[in-house]
Amino acid sequence: MNKIRKTPEQWRAQLSPEAYYVTREHGTERPYSGQYWNSTTPGIYRCVGCHTPLFASDTKFDAGCGWPSYFDAINPDNVREEVDTSHGMVRTEILCNVCDAHLGHVFPDGPPPTGLRYCINSVALTFEPESDLS
C-alpha cells in the first residue's frame, strides 16, 4: 500500500477548513450536522483525502448518534485503529490507512454480524452513488 504524505499546507489547499480540522487535527463535527448521517442512497463512501474506498452503504445503519455509522469496512486494510485517550476517555480511533486521515471511532455496540459501530465524521468522507459505479 502506497502511503500518501502531504504537508499541512498541501492538505489545507485540498480540503475544506472543516475537513482539515477533522481529518488532520483529529476533530469532530457536531452530531446531526454532516451530510451523510441519515443518507440511505446506495453507494461507496471514500476518504476525503485520498479517495480510498472505506465503507459501503449496505453496511450503514442508523445508530441514533448523529454520525454515519457502519458495521464493517470495505477492506480492513484500508482503515487503521489506534488508541485515543483524548477527552478523558479511552476510545478506538479509526484512521485511513493510506493518508492517515482521522475518520472517527469504532465501538463494540453495533449490530450483527460484526457487533461493531464505526462512527464516522461525514466531512471525512466523499460519496460515490451506486449509479456512478457501473
Residues classed as catalytic: 119
**Which of these, 112, 106, 58, lies nearest to 79 by C-alpha position?**
106
Cα 46 off chain centre by: 8
Tell me if 88 sits within 8 A of 81, measured CB to CB: no
List, in sequence order, every beta strand (DSSP E) within 16-124: 43-47, 53-56, 60-61, 69-70, 79-84, 91-96, 102-107, 117-120
Closest CA to 95 of 70, 69, 118: 118
